[in-house]
Amino acid sequence: MMQNIDGLAKWHKFVNDKDEQALAAALADDVAFYSPFLWQPKEGKATTMLYLSCAARVLQDFTYEREFVGDNAVVLEFSARVGSLKVKGVDILQFNAAGQITNFEVMVRPANGLQALGAAMAQALASSLPPQTGS
C-alpha cells in the first residue's frame, strides 16, 4: 500500500476543482509525463502542468471510475468525452517518498477517440503557448 497519499489527494483536488496550485504541489520538480501522442516523455513540472491543464480543458465529463493502489503507485481508470466521442483510459502515477508525482503516464482508447483527443490537445497547446518570434 502507498505510504504517502498527499500527492494523490492534491491530484484529485486539481481534477475536481481545476486548482492549479494543488497540481503544482502534487508534482515533483523532475516529474516525467508520458503522453499517448509523444514518442519521448516530457520532463519537468512546468511542461507537465501545461499538458495536464490542457487535458483538463479538453476532456469533458471526466470521471474516475476505479482506483488501483500499489507501492508508491496508483492506476486511475477514467471515462470522458472529446466532442461527441467517448473515451476510456488510465492514468498511471508513481510517487516519491514525499508523496509527489514523479511519473505520470496516460493511456487512452478507442483509436478514434485518441485521434480526436490528439487534435483537441494540439489546438489547446497551441493556444496556451506564447507566439514564436524571430526567424
Phi-psi region of 77 (alpha: psi -120 to 50; beta: other; left: phi over 0): beta
7 — pLDDT class (breaks 50, 70, 90): confident
Average pLDDT, the chain: 92
What per-residue confidence (pLDDT) applies to 131?
Answer: 55
Provide mean pLDDT across the span 11-24. 95
**Of 1.10.1660.10, 3.10.450.50, 3.40.50.150, 1.20.1630.10, which CATH number belongs to 6-127?**
3.10.450.50
**Domain coordinates of the chain in residue numbers?**
6-127
What per-residue confidence (pLDDT) applies to 94?
Answer: 96
**81-122 residue pLDDT tens:** 999 999 999 999 999 999 999 999 999 999 999 999 999 999
Residue 108 phi, psi dihedral angles, 5° rounding: -140, 145
Q: Mapping DSSP to helix (H, G, I), strand (E, B) and coil, where does residue 43 land?
A: strand
Q: Tell me, what DSSP letter sits at residue 63?
A: E
C-alpha cell at 34: 508520458
134 — pLDDT class (breaks 50, 70, 90): low
3-state helix, strand, coil in the chain (%, to 5): 40, 40, 25
* pLDDT of 31 over the 50 cut: yes
